[in-house]
Structures are given as C-alpha cells and as structure tokens.
A and B are shown apart, each in its own frame.
Chain A
C-alpha cells in the first residue's frame, strides 16, 4: 500500500467527491433514458434493450452507493438511524423498483412477509441491502426470486431475518469461502465482481446493534429455491 498516508487520505476524498459527481450524472442519464423510452412505441418500451439499460444503470448506481458508503464507514460518518418500519412496506418498495426489469427477463418475484411484521432499523440502509441482493439475484437466477421476512430466535435472542432466494446455480465456492468482512482483501479483478456490495451489506448490517448483539449477513447455496440464498439478520 501507499507509504504516504496523507496522499491516501486525499485520494479517497477525491474518489468520494468524484463518485458523488458520477452519481448525479447517472441520475440525469437514467432520467433521460426514461423520458426517451416514453416516446418509443408501446411494444419497444418493454424491449430487452431498454431493460438492459435500466438494469445496468441500477447496477452502476448500486456500485457508486457502495463506494460512497464504504468511504463514509472509513471516515466513521455512517451510522444507522433506527426507527420502526413495516417489512411489507420495504418489500413492496423494492418490488416496485425491480418489477419491470424482472418482468422483462421473465423472472417471477414472490414476497412472503406477514403484514404486521415491524422492526427497528435504518430504512434507507436496509433497503439498500435488499436492493443490492435483488440486483444480484436477478443477474444469476433462472426464473424465480423469493423474498421472505420473518422474526426468528437465535440463542434465545430475537432477530429479523430477511432472505433473498433464487433458483440459479448458487454462489461460486470462492465467494462462499470468504468472510464478508474480508471481502476488501480478496478483490479479484478477473472475476469481474468486486463483491463490494457484499462488503457494504455486511458493514451496514453490523451497524445495527442492540445491546451486545450485532446484525450480520450470510451466503449459502440451497435455500427455498435451490439456488443462492442471501440472508441478513438484524437484532
């Protein structure tokens, strides 16, 4: 790594402000695309090309959010601001965000969430985790995605568990073997995935604390649909 800590600090600041700028541009870009789409004939509006633009834009957007988020975590400027929210609200919102992308790819999305289930968490941050998991699942699944939210008991403590199941091939071994906290030390440029989203999700989950308990994420293969299973546990 750099021998000059000052230079590193300055560089991350430059990076963070560039990311901010990129995010703004991306926002403009997405809006322009949406506007253009509306002028297309009905049948082309749902075309694969449009869907790809939407999906990739969402992916870039997520990456940028993670970069900014990680910068804030390093600067100790990111905190979870808890309040009580209903899980069906959060899930419906994420469904709304993805329904077109998924419909165009022929992927079905099922949500299983009791309508009285409420929990304490940071709405924006946790929505970000689900959004990223959905984005990932929509890339690797075959035909189905299922989100479930429920309260569970682990060692006599209550946790909220949100799972995102898919019916794809599951996570590669290389990813399952890495602890989410360690992702930054294991970035593999060849694989095309930096797993930044996982790292961010794991950091954000652990910002949620209740007494000595901390939130965490887990990755497995199998789950309800036999593909990848991403879970986040919040105390």
Chain B
C-alpha cells in the first residue's frame, strides 16, 4: 500500500541499530533492508554508538532502552545530545520491553522522538516507520533551523505549519515554547503553555509552565506547579528536580534534598542529578546520604562525560570526613573506600596537578583518622614542597588548611587561611568557605553537635533563659572553640547577664570569648560584630574604673 513511499524514504536514510543482543540487531537490520534501507549500521553498546555517531551522522537511531549492565537508552540519548552527535533532524526511537514508560522526561531535548515496544514485528515496524519518517520529512525544515541555532526562523516555520493545519500541531507548539525559552522570551513561552493547559492537562505544558515560573523567580508558584505534575505523573523525574530547585531558592534545603532523592530513586542512572544531590547533602551535613549519591554517580558515570576528578575528590572528602572519629571496622571500610577514590584521581587524572595535590591532602587526613600520623605528616610536607604557597587557588588552600588542622598544625593553618582571606577579599563565595573553616576546623561529627547546641542556646537566649543559654553555648564552644559567631553569642549573653547582675565572672567570660577570636581577619563576616562587642566591654571596664 504505502510500501513505495517507505522505500523512497528508507533509501536515502542512514540507520543505526543499538541493541545488546546480536539476534535482535540482525533481525532489525534484515527488516530495515527489506523496507529498502541501503545504509544500516549496528552496534552492541553505548561506547560503540557514541563512537559511530562521531564519524557518521545518522538519520534514524533505533536504540534499545535496557542494555544490560551498561548505560541505558536514556543515558545514550542524553550523551548524544550533549556531545551534539545527533541532529534535531534525526529521529531517535527508543525500543522498550514495556508498553508503559518507566521514566518520563518532559524536556524536548532529552525525549526520544518515539517509543516502539518489543517484540518488534516486521509489519508493525513498517507501519510505524512510515508514520515517523513522514513526520520527519515534513518537520525537517524546522529542525534544520534548530540545528543551526536559528531559533527565530524555526519559530516562524512552526507558526506556518500550524496555520496550514498540520497534523503535528502539538509538536510545533511544544517546540515553539521551548525555543522561546531558549531565546529568553519567557512570556511568549508561558503564553503557549497556558493556552495548551486551558484545554487539557498535558505534562509537557505543565512542566514548561513551571519552568517559566522558575525563570521569572516566582518560586512559590513554580514549586506548586511542579508538585501538581508529580501528583498526576509520579514518574516524571524532571518535576522532582524542579521542586528541588524551587525549594533551594526558597531556602527549604531539606525539602530540596528530599525531592532530588525521589528523582534519583526513580531514575538512578542520571549522573548529573546524582552528583547534584550529593553536593546538596554535603551542604545539608547529611554525609551518609551524600556518600550514597556519590557512590551511584561514580558507578553510573564511569567513562561518561560526567566522570571528573572533582567528583572523585568530593566523594573521597566525604568518606574521609565520615571515617575520621569512627574507630570501628566501619571506619576502616570507609577509609579504604576513600583511598580508592583518591587513588583513582592520582591514576586516571595524573595530568590534573591541582586535583592530585588535593587528593594527597585528603589522603593525609584519612591516614590521621587511622592513627598513621607520621605518614600523614610526610604526605602533607611533600605536597607543600610541590606548591607555591603564595599562589594558591582557594580550593587547594582550603584543602591544605584542613589537613594542617587535622594534623594538629593549627597555627600554620590559621596563618594560611588569614592570608587567603586577604587574597580573596573580593570573592564572597571563597571568603565564605574560608571563614567556615577558620571558625570550625574540627571534624564533621563535632561540628554537627556544636551547631545543634548553638541553636538551642539561641532559642534559650530569645526566651530569656540566660543562664541556660550560657551553658548551651559553653558546651558548644568546648567542641568548636574558634567559632566566631558562637563566641560572640556567648559574649553577648554574658554581657546581658553582667548588666542584670554585675557579676565580674560574666564580664570575664565575655572577655575570654573575644580573646579567642582575636585572629579573625577584617574580611570575616563577624568582624564588625566583634568590634562592636569589644567596644561594649571596654566601655564597661572604663565605667567601672571611674
């Protein structure tokens, strides 16, 4: 019936079949040949596919979703798109063992053009290819413009298609909206999404709308719309990530973490999302969850674009922090795992000098955690001999200071950090990290305890229970004595008590606090508060002498 038409379409197209089973590849190839395809390549795994796509540009890729132990079809599509080894004019068809989609992606970029369910029969494939290749031919002028980044032209072609009463109206609308977003014309994109949604609940439109709300900093509404998507489509991973992003902007860090955790439960192989989650967990001080996410990011990211020394380093650092202070077998295991990550950096990324220095510095801390102090000191000395202390990056500087602290070389560490804070005084992000370390060089476990005691202290202070507040702050300071804000909190309560009771003990207490953080540089966020409280104390002393 339409055989002739399909033959014509197939003759001039280059096909790539990707499946891990040889007989599937062979049988698909035979089918395509029988439709008239002259050019059909077959590959068995992701690496071969990515390689082939580098040299040949394919018009149609038929890719099995589940490729055994290797990357899955979704990862391959993502990588092909990121490396620009597949054009918009090409078709990416996902072959699945299932009729329902396991994970769903709303973004046009990372969506396959079609799904075909296994078992693939000849007649079915023939019919489906005819439909898809006809669509491909009609939409080609639009996709060609997208391929050369001529979005404005692509949009006007979409409009024309719609005016001509195209069968691909929905495709055109979705494409137009996403191109408007790329061009920064959020309101036009939003207009399309709202128009579509006024008739139906369509995932891609709802998701798109939520993204435009994020773009325009309407975080509360964005979060709400993303949540609505999840309610209707619980497998829509992208919506969880959207909720997470919105939460981060709203300062709801814990909720942001939980949303991302759900996303990776549904789709664990998305490396970018796993490492994003890991970093978020680290910031949330949840190192156990962080290490879980790092572990997956590394397992699934091996030999992909996402495999970077930073990923290994972050994981190594996280494991090192967990292992220090843990004298059980578990601690040994963590230390070993940390060493594996750090060795990988030295091995695989030996040309990345700074990463290797950092790796060795973290290794030194792991050694200290296992009571191997001498080896650790030697390692730190060695790194120091290889670097120019006057010309350090923030990251390397921080890594070195952290190891110096852990090795008990507190003065060296403090001097280095003060020097760094002067050097980076106009870089607020770097400064923040330097301050944090200067305040709390202690191991992770102690920092967490101190933090919670500090919080209790503040609550007690606010409710007027000054004596209990002093106790809480004092116990916190026993753990992290150099913490600037904590010291000033205690000093402030002490001064208030002094004003109420005039007991010389409380004045002494405040003075001790000030004394302990004399070293903080003027770039420190607490510097002005320190000066202020110091002045208060001096005033009291002066009044008393008179």
Counting CB contacts under 8 A, is B36 at the interface? no
Contact B202 A82 (CB under 8 A): yes
Q: What residues of B have a CB within 8 angstroms of the CB of A210 in the complex? A: 200-201
Given contacts A79-B233, A127-B99, contact A93 B124 (CB under 8 A): yes
Instruction: Pick the residue among A79, A92, A120 that contacts B234 (CB under 8 A).
Output: A79
Contact B118 A27 (CB under 8 A): yes
Q: What residues of B have a CB within 8 angstroms of the CB of A24 in the complex? A: 97
Instruction: Pick the residue among A34, A38, A79, A128 that contacts B121 (CB under 8 A).
Output: A34
Chain B residue nearest in CB terms to A92: B127
Instruction: Pick the residue among B119, B170, B203, B235 that contacts A61 (CB under 8 A).
Output: B119
Counting CB contacts under 8 A, is B101 at the interface? yes
Q: For chain B residues 90-122, which have a beta carbon within 8 Å of chain A? A: 97-101, 104, 115, 117-119, 121-122
A65-96 toward B: CB 8 Å interface, digit per residue (1/0)? Answer: 10011001000111101111010010011011
Counting CB contacts under 8 A, is B527 at the interface? no
Counting CB contacts under 8 A, is A28 at the interface? yes
Counting CB contacts under 8 A, is A124 at the interface? yes
Contact A82 B201 (CB under 8 A): yes
Q: For chain A residues 116-140, which have a beta carbon within 8 Å of chain B? A: 118, 120, 123-125, 127-128
Chain B residue nearest in CB terms to A131: B99
Counting CB contacts under 8 A, is B24 at the interface? yes
Contact A124 B233 (CB under 8 A): no
Instruction: Pick the residue among B98, B115, B126, B232 that contacts A79 (CB under 8 A).
Output: B232
Chain A residue nearest in CB terms to B199: A120
Q: For chain B residues 17-49, which have a beta carbon within 8 Å of chain A? A: 21, 23-24, 26-27, 30
Q: Is the interface of A mostly helix, strand, loop or mixed?
A: helix
Contact A83 B121 (CB under 8 A): no
Given contacts A31-B119, A34-B121, A96-B126, contact A84 B99 (CB under 8 A): no
Q: How many angstroms between the C-alpha atoms of A31 and B19 in the bound complex?
A: 13
Which of A57, A81, A210 lies at the interface centre, i.e. has the most chain B CB atoms within 10 A of its CB? A81
- Residues of B within 8 A of A (CB-CB), count: 37
Given contacts A82-B203, A210-B200, contact A100 B123 (CB under 8 A): yes
Instruction: Pick the residue among B23, B104, B233 that contacts A31 (CB under 8 A).
Output: B23
Contact B98 A65 (CB under 8 A): yes
Count A-B contacts at CB 8 Å: 94
Counting CB contacts under 8 A, is B444 at the interface? no
Contact B97 A81 (CB under 8 A): no
Counting CB contacts under 8 A, is A59 at the interface? no
Counting CB contacts under 8 A, is B204 at the interface? yes
B190-217 toward A: CB 8 Å interface, digit per residue (1/0)? Answer: 0000000000111110000000000000
Q: What residues of A have a CB within 8 angstroms of the CB of B204 in the complex? A: 83
Which of B99, B101, B236 lies at the interface centre, i.e. has the most chain A CB atoms within 10 A of its CB? B99
Contact A84 B203 (CB under 8 A): no
Instruction: Pick the residue among A34, A77, A100, A124 that contacts B115 (CB under 8 A).
Output: A124
* B310 smallest CB distance to A (angstroms): 34
Counting CB contacts under 8 A, is A23 at the interface? yes
Contact A79 B97 (CB under 8 A): no
Counting CB contacts under 8 A, is A105 at the interface? no
Instruction: Pick the residue among B104, B117, B169, B170 that contacts A81 (CB under 8 A).
Output: B104
* A60 smallest CB distance to B (angstroms): 11
Contact B167 A124 (CB under 8 A): no
Counting CB contacts under 8 A, is B131 at the interface? yes
* B138 smallest CB distance to A (angstroms): 13
- The residues of B with any CB-CB pair to A shorter than 8 Å are 21, 23-24, 26-27, 30, 97-101, 104, 115, 117-119, 121-124, 126-128, 131, 167, 169-170, 200-204, 232-236
7 contacts between A and B (CB under 8 A): A28-B24, A34-B27, A34-B122, A82-B202, A93-B128, A99-B123, A125-B100
- Besides A35-B27, A79-B235, A83-B204, 10 new A-B residue pairs in contact (Cβ under 8 A), listed by A number: A20-B97, A27-B24, A38-B30, A65-B99, A83-B170, A83-B202, A93-B128, A97-B123, A97-B124, A124-B99
- The residues of A with any CB-CB pair to B shorter than 8 Å are 20, 23-24, 26-28, 30-32, 34-35, 38, 57, 61, 65, 68-69, 72, 76-79, 81-84, 86, 89, 92-93, 95-97, 99-100, 118, 120, 123-125, 127-128, 209-210
3 closest cross-chain pairs (CB), A and B: A96-B127, A84-B170, A96-B123
